[in-house]
A and B are shown apart, each in its own frame.
Chain A
């Protein structure tokens, strides 16, 4: 157990754990300490000197962020000396800081601005010229104004420690110290934009959001992200209809304080390529029609089609309400069994939730001591999860193995051979890795979707499960079997068991068996269209709408309340921050109206009824024999992690100009080989 130390803060007695800093002790005691360089998630630098406090028996004021607490310390934070010292520090910080708050994007949420209200003096005694520092290029997301920089080095520490791309540094010294990326190249990280939040002043600001709005004008909605299955907690800032920016919201269990660049900057994709009215395809071009006509056309079409000739595919950004409404529509109204949520023929065992979740949980990665990646590239498939793996790597020196060489994952890992033979060796207890898994206290085996789409997927997955079970690595306390889903809707869809019971839908679509295909936000599938009548329900005019005959405009994740279950199985709600454009409607409403049209009364009276029905469906104990449809056989084949087009992985990102720019810059970087 940790030793407890008795300290006094402003004459209040408190007990704190050994190993904390004076600053943390002061916070526990409720004394607020101003700071610029200190950040809980980063290493301690102690170079801004703003957190000075007085400690009895110390002749000089002490930088509290870098001073460990000792027993019997008497700390004072409200004395004259402390105030004078902080005022002195602030005067030096402001000596070279420009007075351009009116044109600075940080204005209104600037640490320096806020703290200078308490510690700043009303006029400057600094008569000399202010320092000038040229702007630095840091990529398409980060705008720099380096004269504002106060050299706290938070960005430098973030890039080296959390992002794992040591590309930012401080060059020169003294007055000429400058923060820059190596030779002013774009930062090659998917977490790069977090330095904007970290910057306590306006030196690093958001490039796409430049001069867009002031923080006090924006409406803030706390919601969740759907760019990947991690379900990062975010705050969406809107000005009227338009989403101006997305910021992270702290959730220690999922994304800590960070979000990926895609989460943050794909939001401008919600402005472009939007579907605002229903369209019908006539003579190869789209014509606007009214909702009434559109639904009537759909009804006529459904009436002349046999139920087994109707299929539906749900998409990667679809919320659970819509998924459930679709399920009910297909089950009760259309009487078709061909509703499918998977994009590929992924092996999934629906008998138990544990078979498709990330069971160790994202928080659990931190204590793991062995990680094996099978057919997954977490850097692109789940960036926030990858950041946790890096944290574990730094903290516990975790041994990490991957079956395949995946390039830079921001941590060191050993490459095994990417064949099923290797997996067979492991699960037959026949090699070093098996021994390592057995000896590890908290091993972590991560299966990617690529490993579950092969012919022998069932063999390797079930084999691994058996191996882990035999060695007591799956228990109440620690479950080392993890599946990394990439789509935000995936786990929700599995919970609602939206898979075709005969597992034929995808195959039959390829064979052009169906006459009507519903695409509910599904844009990632390529359909070789012949005579099918394709109905697209979704928010963006992308691949799905292009091949559709009838387009019904839906809402994006920020425009409707909807549940998402993240890859760990945590149910979270995405809240409505804006409203659908034009005549577009919320997705579940569209599904409900279709059913009303066909059988006269809708599936649900209102959203509450839908939610109650959905809850009882999820909680009902059902047996599912779906996995029996897959053959369990061993084939010697290669496990290839399918490359992910990170900046273009879904409709919103594809419509986003910022993401396009990032993608261009990243691909150019790769071509010229400047990274080596």
Chain B
């Protein structure tokens, strides 16, 4: 992971939509009086959802004013967490986990698939502008490694061929089925196994 780049093209203005404004005010009320700056993370996420999955500088300024804190405070938080995107991402935003368990199970092969089919570099939009990908640290689905997250869904137990299929569907604007690609439900053992006795290498 490297320091997130802030997009060079920035919208001039950002404001919460009417419903998000109501929601934002509600979020602020969750915190004790005088501590409303604690709402910064929730509001940044709200702004990201509203603005096609990325946070422009104008939104950071807007939130800083909304919570009465300095711009740099919001900027610090936004650059710290990897789930905040500071430059535009595709409609389908693919995050591939490359932390150790996934890496051992072949995560970099998935990365190669992305490089081939979407864009040569991370965080670059695909030819049709509807898709971008990035490497991320552990997404907490090690039992189903290797895996990728596309928008809000996990795609688990992948191999190269299956992942290629998923990417091709996405590029055609079709949403493939999320979950395990080896037929597992959640993190259950495969083939209904309940002990490791018959597995010699376990």
Contact = CB atoms under 8 A, between A and B. Distances in A.
A236 B26 CA distance: 56
A166 interface: yes
Contacts of B69: 166
Contacts of B190: none
Contact of A167 (B3, B70, B79): B70
A181 interface: yes
Interface residues of A, number: 15
B31 interface: no
Contact of B80 (A160, A171, A181, A183): A171
A172 B80 contact: yes
B3 A170 contact: no
Nearest to B82: A173
Contacts of B75: 169, 171, 182-183
B62 to A, nearest CB: 12
B79 A182 contact: no
Given A178-B3, A183-B57, A172 B72 contact: no
A444 interface: no
A47 to B, nearest CB: 14
Contacts of A167: 70, 72
Interface size class of B (residues with CB under 8 A): 10 to 19
Nearest to B65: A676
B71 A182 contact: yes
Contacts of B4: 172
Interface string A173-191: 1101010011100000000
Contacts of A182: 70-72, 75
B192 interface: no
A226 interface: no
B73 A172 contact: no
Secondary structure at the A interface, as helix, strand, loop or mixed, is: mixed
A254 interface: no
Secondary structure at the B interface, as helix, strand, loop or mixed, is: helix
B76 interface: yes
Contact of B72 (A166, A173, A174, A176): A166
Contact of A171 (B1, B2, B79): B79
A178 B69 CA distance: 20
Given A182-B75, A183-B57, A166 B70 contact: yes
A579 B69 CA distance: 49
B73 A169 contact: yes
Given A182-B71, A183-B57, A169 B3 contact: no
Nearest to A165: B70
**Which among A169, A174, A181 has the greatest number of chain B C-beta atoms within 10 A?**
A169
Nearest to B6: A183
A172 B78 CA distance: 8
A182 B72 CA distance: 5
Contacts of A320: none
A26 interface: no
A181 to B, nearest CB: 7
B34 to A, nearest CB: 12
B79 A172 contact: yes
A20 to B, nearest CB: 28
B73 A176 contact: no
A173 B80 contact: yes
Interface in B24-73: 57, 69-73
A676 B175 CA distance: 42
A176 B70 contact: no
Contact of A176 (B2, B57, B71): B2
A166 B73 contact: yes
Interface in A136-192: 160, 166-174, 176, 178, 181-183
Given A167-B70, A182-B71, A183-B57, A176 B1 contact: yes
**Which among A173, A174, A182, A183 has the greatest number of chain B C-beta atoms within 10 A?**
A182
A172 B76 CA distance: 7
A166 B3 CA distance: 21
Nearest to B57: A183
Interface string B1-30: 111100000000000000000000000000
B77 to A, nearest CB: 9
Nearest to A134: B3
Nearest to A172: B3
Given A166-B73, A172-B3, 13 more contacts: A166-B72, A167-B72, A169-B72, A170-B76, A171-B75, A171-B76, A172-B4, A172-B79, A176-B1, A176-B3, A178-B3, A182-B70, A183-B75
24 contacts: A166-B69, A166-B70, A166-B72, A166-B73, A167-B70, A167-B72, A169-B72, A169-B73, A169-B76, A170-B76, A171-B3, A171-B76, A172-B3, A172-B4, A172-B79, A172-B80, A173-B80, A174-B1, A176-B3, A182-B70, A182-B71, A182-B72, A182-B75, A183-B57
Interface of B: 1-4, 57, 69-73, 75-76, 79-80
Interface of A: 160, 166-174, 176, 178, 181-183
